[in-house]
């Protein structure tokens, strides 16, 4: 070792258990202090945006699940809302309520995985087992409504894939009953746990100004005290009818982000309860011939319905030329779908504003000047899904 400053380059990932997938971070170290952290992306790049340009509008929906695979319904919702806006079709009230209920369920799902993996990164092994136990209940609902536990593809352009199942109420009521108690258990384990507090407080601290400059949204922005939530700012799918609060933090560190997400889960339960209580009766999809598939029993008995069914499946439907950017509040932040239509049956361009991708930019400012162990905390706290980062 010669005299003078020397730095060491440490490669972390892509196969590293604490990077939540295939994220590779190249760390520049001075001793154990981090000088800079450079994420290298693209290991999961599948070209979903490009593939979407070559698919009929309704065939894009299953691909949106594969981006943020922990929040499939949020991704479905963003896409179908954007296309519905371009088509200018009205959605039945029941569908709106069901969509709100299920996207809030998705938020619980995503936050549970975040909590479990974040805690296991810090060393709290048991949290992962508890959160995945509760996640089973949520996945059961997914399975009941769509037949799939993870890639649900339940929302369709103009409505839902199927009607809600008969025991849907019972399943949701069970979640509403059981979940608050489990949340208390989590908080008993973590909120006042000395190790948890020491590893999180003051780590990855950002100011509101820094976060806004980096275009970051979601719980990271709210933990710095900025009250921005798309559900309140630009309500979609009938969110203006629901009564809920937006939790905000003060310090913008990992501990505040933890508190914000925990409170968000409580608010999600509140919205779910309102949606379940206020769910109106009605059809589960809009009646728009030529765009939305007719009900199956009509297809089997009426000539016209059968022709529409056949035409939609084989040649799709035309969407008026134009472009629209639809933002929704996904569990990770503002998820946007910008769809450009040239009047044909396929999207001319589909751009996804991926919250994980943009939020990952905060990793470098968060970890500068801190120790290697804090990188793991910060990655967990940003809450990324690599499927969405790389698309």
Partner 1 sequence: MEQAEITKAESELLGALKDRFGDRITGHGKFADQLSIFITDDIVFDLAEFMKEDAHTGFELLSDICGVDWIKCPEMRFELVYNFYSIAKSLRVLVKTTIPDSEKPSIRSIQPIYPGADWLEREMYDMLGIEFEGHPDLRRIITPEGMDGWPHRKDFPLTYEVPQFTHNKDKPPEIIK
Q: Which residues bind partner 1 (CB under 8 A)?
A: 41-42, 45, 47, 49-51, 54, 85, 212-217, 226, 228, 233-234, 320-325, 327, 334, 336, 338, 340, 348-349, 351, 353, 357-358, 360-361, 390-391
Of the two residues 191 and 215, which places its CB atom closer to partner 1 in the complex?
215
* In the complex, minimum distance from the CB of residue 252 to partner 1, in angstroms, rounded to a whole number: 16
> What gap in Å lies between CA 103 and CA 191, rounded to an integer?
26
* In the complex, minimum distance from the CB of residue 213 to partner 1, in angstroms, rounded to a whole number: 5
Phi-psi sector, 96: left (phi>0), alpha (psi -120 to 50), beta: alpha
Of the two residues 121 and 334, which places its CB atom closer to partner 1 in the complex?
334
Of the two residues 201 and 361, which places its CB atom closer to partner 1 in the complex?
361
Of the two residues 120 and 384, which places its CB atom closer to partner 1 in the complex?
384
* In the complex, minimum distance from the CB of residue 327 to partner 1, in angstroms, rounded to a whole number: 7
* In the complex, minimum distance from the CB of residue 57 to partner 1, in angstroms, rounded to a whole number: 17
**What are residue 37's DSSP bridge partners?**
27
- Nearest-5° Cα angle at 332, 327 to 338: 25
Phi and psi for 328 in degrees, rounded to 5?
Answer: -135, 165
* In the complex, minimum distance from the CB of residue 146 to partner 1, in angstroms, rounded to a whole number: 29
Of the two residues 221 and 305, which places its CB atom closer to partner 1 in the complex?
221
The HSE-up count of residue 356 (CA atoms within 13 Å, CB side) is 25
Of the two residues 274 and 326, which places its CB atom closer to partner 1 in the complex?
326
Of the two residues 40 and 133, which places its CB atom closer to partner 1 in the complex?
40
């Amino acid at each position: 070792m010669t005299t003078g400053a020397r730095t060491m380059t440490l490669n972390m990932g892509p196969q590293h258990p604490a990077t939540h997938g295939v994220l590779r971070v190249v760390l520049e170290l001075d001793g154990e202090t981090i000088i800079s952290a450079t994420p290298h992306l693209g290991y999961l790049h599948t070209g979903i945006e490009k593939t979407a340009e070559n698919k009929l509008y309704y065939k894009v929906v299953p691909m949106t699940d594969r981006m943020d695979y922990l929040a499939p319904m949020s991704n479905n919702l963003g896409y179908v809302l954007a296309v519905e806006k371009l088509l200018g079709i009205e959605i039945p009230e029941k569908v709106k309520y069901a969509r709100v209920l299920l996207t809030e369920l998705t938020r619980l799902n995503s936050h549970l995985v975040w909590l479990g993996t974040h805690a296991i990164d810090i060393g709290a092994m048991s949290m992962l087992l508890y959160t995945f136990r509760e996640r089973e209940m949520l996945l059961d609902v997914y399975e009941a409504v769509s037949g799939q536990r993870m890639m649900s593809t339940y929302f369709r352009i103009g409505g839902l894939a199927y009607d809600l199942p008969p025991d849907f109420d019972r399943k949701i009521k069970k979640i509403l009953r059981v979940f608050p108690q489990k949340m208390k258990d989590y908080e008993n384990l973590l909120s006042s746990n000395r190790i948890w507090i020491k590893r999180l407080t003051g780590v990855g601290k950002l100011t509101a100004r820094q976060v806004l400059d980096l275009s970051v949204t979601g719980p990271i922005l709210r933990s710095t005290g900025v009250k921005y939530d798309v559900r309140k700012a630009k309500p979609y799918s009938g969110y203006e009818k629901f009564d809920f609060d937006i939790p905000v933090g003060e310090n913008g560190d990992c501990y505040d982000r933890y508190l914000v997400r925990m409170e968000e889960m409580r608010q999600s339960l509140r919205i779910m309860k309102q949606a379940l209580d206020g769910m109106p009766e009605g059809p589960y999809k809009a009646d728009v011939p030529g765009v939305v598939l007719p009900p199956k029993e009509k297809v089997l008995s009426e000539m016209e319905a059968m022709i529409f069914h056949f035409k939609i499946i084989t040649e799709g439907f035309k969407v008026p030329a134009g472009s629209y950017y639809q933002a929704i509040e996904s569990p990770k932040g503002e998820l946007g779908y910008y769809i450009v239509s040239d009047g044909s049956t396929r999207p001319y361009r589909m751009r996804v504003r991926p919250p994980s991708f943009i939020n990952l930019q905060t990793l470098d400012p968060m970890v500068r000047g801190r120790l290697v162990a804090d990188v793991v905390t910060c990655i967990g706290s940003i809450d990324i899904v690599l499927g969405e980062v790389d698309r």
